[in-house]
Amino acid sequence: MRAALFVLMLSACATAATPAVPLVDLGDVPLDPGPAVTSRLSRTQYAASVEALFGAGITLSVALEPDTRVDGLAALGAGISATSPSGVEEYEVASYEVATQALSPDRREAWMPCVPAATMDEGCAKLALASLARRAWRRPVTDGEVDALVAVTTGAMSTLDDFWDGLEYGIAAILQSPFFLYRPEIGEADPNGGRRRTAFELATRLSFLLTDGPPDAALLDAAEAGELDTTEGLEVQARRLIASPEARRGMRAWLTDVLKLDALDHLDKDPELFPNISATLGASAREETLRLGEYIAFDKDTDLRTLLTTRTAFVDRELAAVYRVQAPSLDAFAQVELPAKGERRGLLGQVAFLANHSHSTATSATLRGQAIRESLLCSPLPPPPAGVNTSIPATDAERPTLRDRVTAHLADPSCASCHTRMDLIGLPLENFDAIGRWRDDEAGYPIDASGTLDGVDFRGLSEMADLLAADPMLTDCLVLQVVRRALGRAPGDGEDEMVDALRARFETQDARLQPLWLDLVRSPMFRRVESP
Amino acid sequence: MKPMSRRQVLRGMLGGALITVPLPFLPSLGRRGQARAAEGVFPTRFGNFNWGNGMVPEHWTPATTGAGWAPSRLLAPLARHTDVLSVVSGYEVKVPNISPHTSGKFGFLTGIDPNRGSGDGTYALGPTFDQIIAAAIGGTTPFRSIECGVTSEQVISWNGPNAGNPTQADPAALFRRLFGDSFRPPGSDAPPDPKLALRQSVLDVVTGHLGTLKGRLGRDDATRLEQHLDGIREIERRIAQLQLPTPALDACVPPTVEPSNPAAFKERHAVMTDLMVTALACDQTRVFTYVFSEHNNNWVYDALKDGHHRMTHDELGDQPGVQECVLQIMEQLALFLDALRAVPEGDGTLLDHCALLCSSDVSLGRLHALDEFPTMIAGGANGALRAGIHVRSEVGASAAAIPLTLMRAVGVRAASFGEDDCTETESIGELEA
């Protein structure tokens, strides 16, 4: 088994070191494009959009409607979910809260293009609203659209007898508009046949993919100047954004979505069993995972699969206590190396994985295995058929450990068909308890950390990390998860060959995120959409 | 202001029921709740009190039927409410039981199998019937419906596929929404705030944008924008109402201090119960969904060592731990009913004017079973329902009869409820007064 593992790793390394296969030209790959998608802004995208307009530090008293996951991803839910009446109400409240803060004397100077000369300075209001609307709606605005905003604003100015109080209503209209809250994709005829996203739709899609925020002024200008009409022009902008600090935000949003890190906000652990757990452990754990993502995708610009195998970790004092490593001297995150021969390494050894996929009182081999299948291998398992007895035996002298109890349950063939695929990659993590602390035994009984991943036997987290990193399913899944986020939907049948080509290029380019992003943006799949 | 088309509110919302909805015409309603003020009649309210992970049927069903039912072991905490609480037992949700928990929950509340066609069981394929009721009777209060509770990770109330009404579980946020700046206390005839008209002018612009965009997008996206437009119309309706005098309501004692958000679920339930009941007493809404707990929740109840959902699957035998969870949930339901009964309305109480459905997503959690589906109805719906009886189907009749009965009881003229094998045209006569 050891030897087999070694060979697997060696071959993965060999691929990574030298591009043996020439890169496929994405322009040559057959493509039958899929539909355009009108996505809603996520909560973080709303915040980033407001910040882009009015600067950092604007706060809301109201929580916007939660993002909806579809097939495991909020990026997919954003493309099909509707806004509820209470969600619309929250958007209204938020629009006024944002406008009030944006218009405060200490903030407005930074973004106002003019100084009002009078209470009813219509010209200045028009200038401000036209400029804001273009950026907020991520496209040129028509005279009629601006006039309607100005009419609302001057009406309010005259009622309230104040320029700024009146402008609040114009800004609120911009922020409540579906042109702001959604990213509509209508498309246009492609001179080369078929249909394509417009330059502004491309700019928007590009920016939200790479930065989880709206297009900046340079990108909108490039769209307006027709620079995005060529693949080369689009690539220039993509490279610029990837090199900007905001690209880290894009990566963070992707990783948060794929790994369900938002669930760490309400990490629910039994206080009697875990008396030392604090209310901030979940937030610390999420930040650790995101810092590791930044380190691998940006600081090192290296193989995404090392997310699983690295021994580099980013810990604050709370996480250091869980991992039993040297605590940072400051009240902040510090980079540490986990013990070279220890079991704990990579994503699977993080609190963000181990605690997020456990019960409040105990570990769950099934939940952990299911999370690996769904998030990392893109092969979620169906829920158990209803009407079957899902009990596993109680803890007793005969079956003191979770493994004993699960094994008894796996003897039932109707359960085993799915559960072996989850439980046998969850049980090897049993040395880590429900909040991710190391344990040698379970209630005094030694833990057997053996497992099986698709026919290959192994033992413990560390060996599984190597196996997963070398598993082509992981590589394929990483690409698919990026494509899903980029398109706001799952790729269609007519796009499969393009996704395969992206996978081949990803593999050849050391499985790094930045080249994958660039390839994806340059691929005709990013530009072309289905004809209605 | 542009006249609203009330019919449009219902567009795309009627998948689950063949109904005729008596649409309220607001602009013609000179004074909110006029009928009641004139006649001393209290409005009928509908609520759905939902908890997760079911019960244990063997210890649930009362031994006798009809009035004066004796509480079973699991219903013992509700003993003080047997006079106003009807148990409806033995009914079955007739959908293919494919998705654990959601086949039952969505199947029951919509009458549609959530795995039908393109459905994957993760969302409802039609409106849950609280929204059908809200469209019929929710149009004269500031909020057509309120969805709140103790936890907010799952969506219980739906307008249709991928159109959920998220649960508000933050008491402070619910307080601000119901009783914040825009709350107009009963008995107020203060002149309208000029800012309301300005807000309306903003909504006019937004409505124009939604219309323009709708025409350019495909059918599914147009439906989403139409749902957004429903939300805009709801705000418009509220703005119109805020400019009208409000009738006095003796029972309305609005809270003045923003509540805290207790971490412990029973304490949060107490705070949310207060808010929800006050919202009803102050006639802020007449339709609500109250989510006490969700399926898959692993709350650790007092004196237990393990999470609720996990125990439903792992605990052997008679599941004494699961039973203990159910008992504690029923205690919390009893407290909710106490609060509704503590509000005097005329000669009776607020609960007398409610039809409060109390239900879950499965019966026996271990099997995700859909027979013996747990349902109770509290309150008499203003005399439309017989309260305090035990009605039992010995033949596993379709549970779709329960929503149909409730819809009719609160004034929805529904010919049927549910689709396919869930289609039901007969309400439960024994429950009807």
pLDDT band at A4 (very low <50, low <70, confident <90, very high): very low
- Please identify which residue in the block is written with the tokens 């340059």: A522
Is there a domain that residue A15 lies in? no
Per-residue pLDDT, averaged over A237-256, amounts to 98
Which of A408-412, B306-310, B347-351 bottoms out in mean pLDDT, i.e. has the lowest? A408-412
Interface of B with A in 129-158 (CB under 8 A): 144, 147, 152-153
Residue B200 · residue B236 · CB < 8 Å: yes
Cβ contacts of A323 within 8 Å, gap of 6 or more: A313, A315, A338, A344, A436
B237 close to A (CB below 8 A): no
Is there a domain that residue A136 lies in? yes
d(CA B201, CA A132): 19
Cβ contacts of B122 within 8 Å, gap of 6 or more: A70, B99, B102, B114
pLDDT band at A400 (very low <50, low <70, confident <90, very high): confident
Looking at A414, A439, A469, which one is the last position of a domain? A469
Read off the pLDDT of residues B183-225 as tens digits, 9 standing for 90 and up.
Answer: 988 888 888 899 999 999 999 999 999 999 999 999 999 999 9
Is there a domain that residue A532 lies in? no
pLDDT at B206: 98
pLDDT greater than 70 at residue B30: no
Same-domain check for residues A311 and A171: no
User: In this structure, is the dihedral angle defined by the CA atoms of residues A264, A270, A276 and A278, taken in order, positive or negative?
Assistant: positive
Read off the pLDDT of residues A314-357 as tens digits, 9 standing for 90 and up.
Answer: 999 999 999 999 988 888 999 999 999 999 999 999 999 999 99
B310 close to A (CB below 8 A): yes
Is there a domain that residue A248 lies in? no
Virtual torsion, Cα B53, B58, B63, B66, nearest 10 deg: 40
- Please identify which residue in the block is written with the tokens 């499969």: A496
pLDDT greater than 80 at residue B23: no
A395 close to B (CB below 8 A): no
B50 close to A (CB below 8 A): no
A92 close to B (CB below 8 A): yes
Please indicate whether, in this complex, the C-beta atoms of B313 and A390 are within 8 angstroms of each other.
yes
pLDDT band at B335 (very low <50, low <70, confident <90, very high): very high
Please report residues of B whose CB lies closer than 8 A to that of A361: 298, 300, 305-307, 310
Same-domain check for residues A179 and A313: no
Where helices occur in B88-154 by DSSP H, the ranges are 102-110, 129-137
Read off the pLDDT of residues B124-167 as tens digits, 9 standing for 90 and up.
Answer: 999 999 999 999 999 999 999 999 999 999 999 999 999 999 99
Q: How far is B225 from chain A (nearest CA, A)?
A: 7
Q: How far is A268 from chain B (nearest CA, A)?
A: 8
Is there a domain that residue A323 lies in? yes
Is there a domain that residue A501 lies in? no
Virtual torsion, Cα B349, B351, B354, B355, nearest 10 deg: -150
Q: Which of B225, B231, B298 sits opposite A84 (nearest CB)?
A: B231
A198 close to B (CB below 8 A): no
Cβ contacts of B103 within 8 Å, gap of 6 or more: A386, B93, B95, B96, B97, B113, B114, B115, B121, B368, B370
A80 close to B (CB below 8 A): yes
Q: Which of B98, B203, B221 sits opposite A38 (nearest CB)?
A: B221
A477 close to B (CB below 8 A): no
Same-domain check for residues A312 and A461: yes
Q: How far is A177 from chain B (nearest CA, A)?
A: 5
Cβ contacts of B48 within 8 Å, gap of 6 or more: B109, B128, B130, B156, B157, B288, B289, B290, B356, B357, B359
Of residues A407 and B284, more confidence is placed in B284
Please report residues of A whose CB lies closer than 8 A to that of B234: 85, 88-89
| Chain A, chain B: beta-carbon pairs less than 8 Å apart | 178
Is there a domain that residue A153 lies in? yes
Which phi and psi angles does B144 have, rounded to 5°? -65, -40
Which phi and psi angles does B18 have, rounded to 5°? -90, 105
Please report residues of A whose CB lies closer than 8 A to that of B202: 95, 152, 169, 172-173, 176
A186 close to B (CB below 8 A): yes
Looking at A469, A503, A524, which one is the last position of a domain? A469
Cβ contacts of B418 within 8 Å, gap of 6 or more: B16, B17, B110, B111, B112, B398, B400, B403, B404, B424
pLDDT at A267: 85
For B210, name the nearest residue in chain A, comparing CA atoms only: A178
pLDDT greater than 80 at residue A395: no
Interface of B with A in 202-221 (CB under 8 A): 202-206, 208-210, 213, 216-218, 220-221
Q: How far is B84 from chain A (nearest CA, A)?
A: 32
Please report residues of A whose CB lies closer than 8 A to that of B213: 178-179, 182, 184
Per-residue pLDDT, averaged over A155-180, amounts to 98
d(CA B282, CA B255): 11
Please report residues of A whose CB lies closer than 8 A to that of B176: 61-62
Q: How far is B77 from chain A (nearest CA, A)?
A: 26
Interface of A with B in 412-441 (CB under 8 A): none
* Strands, sheet with A188-189, edge to edge from the N-terminal-most edge strand: A188-189, A195-196, A528-529
d(CA A285, CA A4): 34
Number of CB atoms found within 10 A of residue A269's CB: 19
Which of A80-94, A127-141, A240-254, A412-426 bottoms out in mean pLDDT, i.e. has the lowest? A412-426
Please indicate whether, in this complex, the C-beta atoms of B234 and A88 are within 8 angstroms of each other.
yes
pLDDT greater than 80 at residue B20: no
pLDDT greater than 70 at residue B15: no
Read off the pLDDT of residues A187-226 as tens digits, 9 standing for 90 and up.
Answer: 999 998 999 999 999 999 999 999 999 999 999 999 999 9
Please indicate whether, in this complex, the C-beta atoms of A155 and B201 are within 8 angstroms of each other.
yes
pLDDT at A277: 83
pLDDT band at A268 (very low <50, low <70, confident <90, very high): confident
Read off the pLDDT of residues B365-420 as tens digits, 9 standing for 90 and up.
Answer: 988 999 999 999 999 999 999 999 999 999 999 999 999 999 999 999 999 999 99
Same-domain check for residues A461 and A316: yes
Is there a domain that residue A6 lies in? no
pLDDT greater than 60 at residue A2: no
Domain residues for the domain of A376 are: 306-469
In chain A, how many domains are there? 2
Looking at A449, A469, A489, which one is the last position of a domain? A469
